[in-house]
Structure 1
Amino acid sequence: MKFLKNLPIFLVIILIMSPEVQAQKKDKLWNHFTYDVGTIFGGVGHAYSRPFHWKGKDWANFGYLASGTLLLFTVDDELNNWTNGFNQDVPDFVLDYGNEYGSPENNYMLTGGVYLFGLFTKNEKLRRTGVLLISSATAGGLLQQVSKRIVGRARPKSGENSDVYDPFNIDRVFNFDSFPSGHAMLSFSNAYAIAKQFKSPWIKAGLYTVGAIPGFARIMDDFHWVSDVAFSTVLSIFIVESIDKYLDRKYNEKYNADTKKVSWNLTFGPNTLGMALRF
């Protein structure tokens, strides 16, 4: 009964405090948002600055990437002729998915959705994942746009060979913007970042496979050479790993406390080229 007598007072207190509580929640949400936006830009800058801090193993990994890409350059025309022999057998829905999912607008719809869900549900792990997705996509996206204009490599569908270039164009020259592959870079960045949420190798393998479809589709549709997609896929791993290490210092939630390592194993011989990447 005493509680019932005091109930009106409690209700008045709640009504008075509600706007203040809501304001505090909004302020906290805004603070998280501004912090995350700053962290996104910080992550992009961190990724771009890493070459200035590389040591022996880092340069070795870069050497493996460069060597593997150059080796693929030498057989791009042959590989393109080979893929043209069965590209008509690939289901249309695979090609449609690959071309649509890897586009920048669809990429940011996904990454932005993950981040906003984490922000509004107050889930720091998802917030961090969203920041990793957005910053990785931004770093890779800007890099590939600039690289396309500098390199000016002919696309397979242009009818030119893989060694034809029209470099250093400020304006983008279509059919001479093959290297690197933006679709492959964005899609595999997403897959690799999301896979960090899981320990199961089967789930990881499934996500990697889905993330590789856009690069595969771009090869099948003659938008890219195999070396374009291979280089972009591996580079996206470097970018995600670099930014993820940076985020370890920015967020308490760590879904991957193990030491982050990327190791390589190249094998090549007569008519043989192999590469194993462990991460």
Structure 2
Amino acid sequence: MKILKYFIALLTILPLAAQDLQSEKKKTLWNDFTYDVGNIFGGVGYSYSRPFHWKGNDWANFGYLAGGTLLLFTVDEEVNHWKNGFQEDIPDFVIDYGHEYGSPENNYMLTGGVYLAGLFTKNEKLRRTGVLLIASATAGGFLQQVSKRIIGRARPKSGAGSATFDPFHLDRVYDYDSFPSGHAMLAFSNAYAIAKQFKSPWVKAGLYTVGSIPGLVRVVDDFHWVSDVVFSTVLSIFIVESIDRYLDSKYNEKYNDQSKNISWNLSFGPSTMGVSLQF
């Protein structure tokens, strides 16, 4: 009887040991890479599908965003004239940073570098951050490229007014591709996603400030109206948050601020408009 008990116990233990070995075998760079690529595309698809699942508060925030953008639209030209008064006082390195950092090629160099660092060091938290960065940039980048062609808003440097449009072009029409701002969207997506790594509100605020520079520089250099940049910045927050929520179900590692009650809210009224961050 003892021999029979030992035999049954052995039959029970061996499959479990085999499963552990098989699970360990599956943890390779290639399998991690293919898993992450799947999550990048899954995150992009998830962010695009969110409007079909919005409820009251979600639609309210979208309404605030649309209303705030329209309000800024009415003062775009006044802001554009106002910034001409200090345009020459901005240091060249700030201007250069603003134009270069938000460009797609430099953006993917940064996001790809973060991801590869996490992949090769087997750091799941860093891998997840890289996936979040790449997925957010891809979702926002594709959306703004399509929107530019559909909307066809004149850039300030074209010499046309802020209410001038040449819409519905399959090919990009330069000087009529102002809305939304790709530089603002990519730069702030990166800043917002990276800020999720830190608990300190001061570090977060610093990253948000740095991430806002490309959008502001594009306004100063007549590439965008202020409403283009504000809309793109807020939209990038929505995209990052939706993809990050999707990644919660795909990775065990969570960010430092997951244990905190942090939420973004839009406010809009006769004399107030803005985005509030509650810690």
TM over 0.5: yes
TMscore range, shorter length: 0.7 to 0.9
Give, as a single letter, the amino acid of the residue that structure 2 aligns with 1:144.
Answer: Q
Question: What secondary structure does 1:254 align onto?
Answer: coil
How far is 1:262 from its partner?
Answer: 2.1
Deviations 1:37-67 (A, max 9, x none): 0000000000000000000010001001000
Specify the alignment match of 2:15 in structure 1: none
Specify the alignment match of 2:28 in structure 1: 28
In structure 2, do the counterparts of structure 1 residues 165 and 210 end up closer, same or farther at CA, with 3 Å as the change threshold?
same
Specify the alignment match of 1:264 in structure 2: 266
Give, as a single letter, the amino acid of the residue that structure 1 aligns with 2:151.
Answer: V
Q: Distance in 1 between matches of 2:273 and 2:44?
A: 31
Q: Is the 8 A contact 1:241 1:260 kept in 2?
A: no
In structure 2, do the counterparts of structure 1 residues 122 and 25 end up closer, same or farther at CA, with 3 Å as the change threshold?
farther
Q: Is the 8 A contact 1:218 1:224 kept in 2?
A: yes
Deviations 1:239-261 (A, max 9, x none): 00000000000000001324563
Q: Distance in 1 between matches of 2:252 and 2:100?
A: 35
Give, as a single letter, the amino acid of the residue that structure 1 aligns with 2:275.
Answer: A
Give, as a single letter, the amino acid of the residue that structure 2 aligns with 1:274.
Answer: M
Deviations 1:141-199 (A, max 9, x none): 00000000000000000000000000001100000000000000000000000000001
- 1:232-243 pair list within 5 angstroms: 232-243=232-243
Specify the alignment match of 1:4 in structure 2: none
- State the superposition RMSD in angstroms: 1.6
Specify the alignment match of 2:133 in structure 1: 133
Q: Is the 8 A contact 2:264 2:275 kept in 1?
A: no
Specify the alignment match of 1:194 in structure 2: 194
Question: What secondary structure does 2:175 align onto?
Answer: coil
In structure 2, do the counterparts of structure 1 residues 106 and 219 end up closer, same or farther at CA, with 3 Å as the change threshold?
same
How far is 1:88 from its partner?
Answer: 1.0
Specify the alignment match of 2:10 in structure 1: none
Indicate whether 1:66 and 2:79 are aligned: no
Q: Which runs of 4+ in 1 moved over 6 A?
A: 24-27
Q: Distance in 1 between matches of 2:185 and 2:177?
A: 14
Q: Distance in 2 between matches of 1:150 and 1:102?
A: 22
Indicate whether 1:209 and 2:203 are aligned: no
Q: Distance in 1 between matches of 2:28 and 2:160?
A: 56
Give, as a single letter, the amino acid of the residue that structure 2 aligns with 1:103.
Answer: S
Q: Is the 8 A contact 1:129 1:193 kept in 2?
A: yes
Specify the alignment match of 2:87 in structure 1: 87
Specify the alignment match of 1:161 in structure 2: 161
Give 5+ residue unaligned stretches, structure 1: 1-23
- The count of corresponding residues between Structure 1 and Structure 2 is 254
Name the stretch that deviates more: 92-101 or 258-267.
Answer: 258-267
How far is 1:266 from its partner?
Answer: 2.4
TM-score by length of 1: 0.88
Indicate whether 1:119 and 2:109 are aligned: no
Question: What secondary structure does 1:198 align onto?
Answer: coil
Q: Distance in 1 between matches of 2:134 and 2:142?
A: 12
Give, as a single letter, the amino acid of the residue that structure 2 aligns with 1:209.
Answer: T
How far is 1:278 from its partner?
Answer: 1.7
TM-score by length of 2: 0.88
Give 5+ residue unaligned stretches, structure 2: 1-23
Q: Distance in 2 between matches of 1:127 and 1:109?
A: 15
Specify the alignment match of 2:76 in structure 1: 76
Q: Is the 8 A contact 1:264 1:278 kept in 2?
A: no
Specify the alignment match of 1:249 in structure 2: 249
How far is 1:85 from its partner?
Answer: 1.5
In structure 2, do the counterparts of structure 1 residues 116 and 38 end up closer, same or farther at CA, with 3 Å as the change threshold?
same
Specify the alignment match of 2:9 in structure 1: none
How far is 1:267 from its partner?
Answer: 4.0
